[in-house]
A and B are shown apart, each in its own frame.
Chain A
Amino acid sequence: MIEWLTVAQVAVAIVAGLLCLVVGLAGRRPSDLTLGATALVELLLLVQLVVSIVSPAAGNTPTGDALEFGLYLGSAILLPVGAGFWALVDRSKWATVILGVANLAIAVMVYRMHEIWFVQGG
């Protein structure tokens, strides 16, 4: 895990989450903007997946449990897929709100992943 990338990722997920929440509560259906923001969050999660697979080989190992980290990352990767699929099927303003909820949940999960990788003592 790379620290600055992770911080950026949490920031992007929070911004995307708030954007979708606000736009959704304002009554907009899922749009290229909100789906695009969610896709960006998903893309960063996939980058994170590659980084977390490669970095132990470069001597950057998690301080916490790799299994717990993997469960968080796996669940996080599923969320935009699920919420995005929902948004394509249910084209109402609530689908946009749901994209926001998923992105905010991802922000929390990436924060937890950061704790597992860097902060835990063995």
Chain B
Amino acid sequence: MTASTSPSARPASGVGRVLVVVYAILALAATGRSFYQIVSKFDEAPVAYSLSALAAVVYIVATVALVVPGETWRRVAIATIGFELVGVVVVGVLSLAAPELFGHASVWSYFGMGYLFIPLVLPILGLLWLTRRGRRARTADARAVASEDVRSA
């Protein structure tokens, strides 16, 4: 079985495509917003706006990782999406605890309220989808190996 036909090497399919598009839109929104914040009012809240930019970069990497096939990129996707989940929870708590530092609008402040809480829900859906995809790929690979064993026997 070559890498190109392995199920784990297949890019997003089915409902995963919707996930990719939502990530792409979020990446676009976060990038646009942080570009604006840094260009026009970085001095007001350097901490929050730097985080905004970091979040934007992570969303872009996550989007790419969801699209590109292969186990390595699947791991990159898990890492970036996990980072987002931690980010939205930590910054969400901090924006309530220390609004003077983190209260400024960013994709993660107040648990992503400005983005209809999508930044909070999306990483959970993303991780669920990725683990399911990983499990399905492993079963399929195991099955392929088993059938090759049968053939060689």
Contact = CB atoms under 8 A, between A and B. Distances in A.
A14 to B, nearest CB: 13
Where chain B touches its partner, the secondary structure class is helix
Contacts of B21: 83, 86, 98, 101-102
Given A94-B18, A98-B18, A108 B28 contact: no
Interface in B11-28: 14-15, 17-18, 21-22, 24-25, 28
A105 B24 CA distance: 11
Given A75-B28, A94-B15, A94-B17, A101 B116 contact: no
Nearest to B36: A68
A78 B18 CA distance: 17
A101 B22 contact: yes
B40 A65 contact: yes
Where chain A touches its partner, the secondary structure class is helix
Nearest to B20: A98
B18 A101 contact: yes
B39 interface: yes
Given A75-B29, A102-B25, A65 B17 contact: no
B32 A79 contact: no
Interface of A: 65, 67-68, 71-72, 74-75, 78-79, 82-83, 86, 90, 92, 94-95, 97-98, 101-102, 105, 108-109
13 contacts: A65-B36, A65-B40, A68-B36, A68-B40, A71-B33, A83-B21, A92-B17, A94-B15, A97-B18, A101-B18, A101-B22, A102-B25, A109-B29
